[in-house]
Amino acid sequence: YNADKFNSTEPFLLLFFAFYLLIPILYARRQPADKRDLVDGSLVFGTPLIAFSLQAGMLHDDRLLLALCALGLAALYAALGWVLIRRDRYAALGQSHAVLAVGFATLAVPLALSARATASVFALEGAALVWLGLRQSRWLPQIAGALLQLGAAFGFVVGADYWLQDATAIANPTFMSGLLLALAGFASAFSYRRSGRDAPAIVYYLWGLLWWLGGASHEISRFIAFDSRPDALLILVAVTGWIAAETQRRFPARALVLTTLAMLLCAFPLALWQADVHRQPFAGYGALAWVVFAVLGVRSLWCLRGGQDRVAVVAQFVWWLLWPTVVSLTASWLADRFALAEGWALAAMLLPWLVVAAISLQRWRWLSVPLGERFDAARPALQCTLFAVLGLAWVGYLFARGGAAPLPWIPLLNPLELAQLAVLALLARWLWRGQAPAALQARRVPLLALAGFVALTSITLHAVHHWGGVPWNERLWSSTLAQTSLTVVWSVLGVISWVWGSRRGQRALWLVGAVLMGVVLAKLVLIDRQHLGNLLGIASFIAYGLLCTVVGYLAPAPPRAPDATLEPQP
């Protein structure tokens, strides 16, 4: 065939199409009344497949005319479907024509050409055959539909040489063809889902999701600048999760809820990518992307509140971990932007986690929206996760210098140590009046005592560094000033515990003080004796001796342990 033969070939193609368009209708009319629901799928769906593929080959140089042909076929099949559906005995045949009408109307949008045009037709026809095979409970059309969609994917890849010719984002044949492949997969998944066959439905759904995300990501990589790609991908995952949630609200399916959850999880690496590309998530188009993500994310969670799937609870759980992560990245950038010291940056990064933890303790209802009471079951897990993050940060901050510039460094009143004290305050509130695990509540006193001891030790070492001028490295531990300061502080703690335990009759507290004083004595013998050649080393021994004298005067004897053998007096 060549263009000179169009005038003689086109009438033959139209006549061929007309013959095989009418044969299935006449076939249905000749069937008995109880069998008129039968549809000849090979002719109903095969005829437009072959005819339009041939037409695309003849009109490959005229995309507009090919699009008009697709619209004409859509109108023809829509009219036939409308007429046949009105007659109950031809309902199945009419629905088949309606499906073809929608397919060709969709195909007219991208003006598909060449291998990509054929691929789009194959995919749509494959989805239609899957639907027909399920309706008639026949395996052959279902297998044919699957093979057609695989062939469509192969044809799409064959046309890969044309991808670089696309000049416009989204409104180009490549993206539209990939979108039709995705829609065919989703349509097949929907057909299997309605038939109660979940395994094939999931396979087709993942197939469609792969084409949708792959096609959209390909457009972003080709038409979006590198610095803005994480922003565009964030909008993509937000839209994908929202569409899945909206669909799940009308047609509940676990795979749709999992899709929304997966899209929320994808926001974490995208936020890190944004911070790597332009130093903070809200720079460039990041602010717009996060606004879209926030709006669609809330709407997605709202759509999930009607079901009973526990994955929705996990999705909202992830939601409340995502936002403090994003704000922490932004806070770190702000501290660097205004040339603040390390202590300010670390405190700012911890602040959003402190806020969410405080809200979870004091105003839980704020976090339960939109799932409401369904989310109450996740409260212990969310609080455990928040305090695990705070705990890890608290331990990590012990090893940070914690400068407070441009303000002077003051013990307890510097940003780093204020943040650490806030963590301890929230931890105490959680262990005493929150929903902490029973194992932690049973050990809350020793746990907080140990944390307080470590915090005071850290404050002492930071004071030695900032006020004593000792470098914040391995030399700090070997310095005479640091060791003397620790000896004095630990001794004071031991004396307070010792005296308080004796005066209040709390034997456990008295034992803690005694043990701590013993640790200090061992430290004096093993470590501080190396510094007896200078004034600070001698001062540590003198201070310890004076404090022991104070203990002997104020609390000479330990409190008596209660005698369990004594009977209570009436």
Q: Are residues 512 and 495 in contact, defined by beta-carbon separation less than 8 angstroms?
A: no
Report if residue 510 sits inside a domain: yes
512 shares a domain with 421 = no
Distance in angstroms (rounded) separating the CA atoms of residues 433 and 430: 6
Distances (CA, A) of 59 to 2, 3, 177, 348, 462: 10, 9, 18, 63, 79
Comparing 357 with 37, the larger pLDDT belongs to: 357
Could you tell me the two tokens for 259?
């899709």
Q: Which residue has the tokens 């109307």?
A: 105
Q: Which residue in 153, 100, 159 sits closest to 124, CA to CA?
A: 100
Q: Are residues 371 and 301 in contact, defined by beta-carbon separation less than 8 angstroms?
A: yes
pLDDT digits (tens, 9 = 90+) for 7-29: 889 999 999 999 999 988 888 88
Which distant-in-sequence residues (6+ apart) come within 8 Å of 246 by Cβ? 299, 300, 303
Report if residue 13 sits inside a domain: no
Query: What's the average model confidence in pLDDT over 553-563?
Result: 54
Which distant-in-sequence residues (6+ apart) come within 8 Å of 152 by Cβ? 118, 119, 120, 121, 122, 123, 126, 181, 184
Could you tell me the two tokens for 150?
């695989």
257 shares a domain with 332 = yes
452 shares a domain with 517 = no
pLDDT at 563: 44
Query: What's the average model confidence in pLDDT over 485-514?
Result: 73
Distance in angstroms (rounded) separating the CA atoms of residues 259 and 335: 36
567 band by pLDDT with thresholds 50, 70 and 90: very low
Domain count, the chain: 3
Query: What's the average model confidence in pLDDT over 104-108?
Result: 70
Is the pLDDT reported for residue 202 higher than 60? Answer: yes
Query: What's the average model confidence in pLDDT over 478-483?
Result: 78
Report if residue 238 sits inside a domain: yes
DSSP assignments along 183-205, one per residue: HHHHHHHHHHHHTT-HHHHHHHH
Q: Are residues 38 and 96 in contact, defined by beta-carbon separation less than 8 angstroms?
A: no
pLDDT digits (tens, 9 = 90+) for 85-100: 777 667 778 888 887 8
Report if residue 38 sits inside a domain: no
Highest mean pLDDT pick, 79-88, 157-166, 411-420, 426-435: 411-420
Q: Which residue has the tokens 């310890």?
A: 544
Burial category of 9 from C-beta neighbours within 10 Å (exposed 0-12, middle 13-18, buried 19 and up): middle
Comparing 64 with 525, the larger pLDDT belongs to: 64
Q: Say whether the peptide bond before residue 281 is cis (omega within 30 degrees of 0).
A: no
Q: Is 499 helix (H, G, I), strand (E, B) or coil?
A: helix
Please state, as a whole number, how many other Cβ atoms lie within 10 Å of the Cβ of residue 148: 25
307 shares a domain with 352 = no
Report if residue 40 sits inside a domain: no
403 shares a domain with 319 = no
Report if residue 567 sits inside a domain: no
560 band by pLDDT with thresholds 50, 70 and 90: low
Quote the DSSP letter at residue 375.
G
Question: Over the chain, what is the mean pLDDT?
Answer: 84
Highest mean pLDDT pick, 47-56, 152-161, 199-208: 199-208
Is the pLDDT reported for residue 558 higher than 80? Answer: no
Which distant-in-sequence residues (6+ apart) come within 8 Å of 245 by Cβ? 256, 257, 260, 299, 300, 301, 303, 304
Q: Which residue in 199, 168, 176, 86 sits closest to 124, CA to CA?
A: 176
Query: What's the average model confidence in pLDDT over 447-476?
Result: 89
pLDDT at 547: 60
Domain boundary among 461, 487, 518: 461
Distance in angstroms (rounded) separating the CA atoms of residues 407 and 174: 58
pLDDT at 189: 96
Burial category of 351 from C-beta neighbours within 10 Å (exposed 0-12, middle 13-18, buried 19 and up): middle
Q: Which residue in 453, 461, 441, 455 sits closest to 497, CA to CA?
A: 453
Burial category of 462 from C-beta neighbours within 10 Å (exposed 0-12, middle 13-18, buried 19 and up): buried
Between CA 305 and CA 314, with CA 310 as vertex, the angle to 5 degrees is 90
Comparing 526 with 476, the larger pLDDT belongs to: 476
321 shares a domain with 232 = yes
Query: What's the average model confidence in pLDDT over 460-487?
Result: 85
Is the pLDDT reported for residue 564 higher than 50? Answer: no
484 shares a domain with 402 = no
377 shares a domain with 329 = no
Query: What's the average model confidence in pLDDT over 379-384?
Result: 94
Helices (H) and strands (E) in the chain, counts: 22, 0
Amino acid at 298: V
Domain boundary among 426, 461, 496: 461
pLDDT at 210: 96
498 shares a domain with 398 = no
pLDDT at 561: 55
Return the percentage of the chain with pLDDT > 90, whole number.
45
Q: Which domain holds residue 350?
A: 344-362+369-461
321 shares a domain with 277 = yes
491 shares a domain with 449 = no
Q: Which residue in 37, 94, 99, 39 sits closest to 74, CA to CA?
A: 99
pLDDT at 556: 52
Is the pLDDT reported for residue 555 higher than 60? Answer: no
Please state, as a whole number, how many other Cβ atoms lie within 10 Å of the Cβ of residue 363: 10
Diameter of the chain measured on Cα atoms: 121
pLDDT at 434: 72
pLDDT at 44: 86
pLDDT at 431: 92
pLDDT at 281: 94
C-alpha gyration radius of the chain: 37
pLDDT at 364: 94
pLDDT at 269: 96
pLDDT digits (tens, 9 = 90+) for 292-314: 999 999 999 999 988 778 999 99
pLDDT at 68: 84
Return the percentage of the chain with pLDDT > 70, whole number.
84
Could you tell me the two tokens for 247?
């669909």
299 shares a domain with 352 = no
Among 411-420, 439-448, 487-496, the least confident range: 487-496
Report if residue 504 sits inside a domain: yes
Quote the DSSP letter at residue 308.
-
Distance in angstroms (rounded) separating the CA atoms of residues 201 and 350: 44
Query: What's the average model confidence in pLDDT over 305-329?
Result: 93
Report if residue 501 sits inside a domain: yes
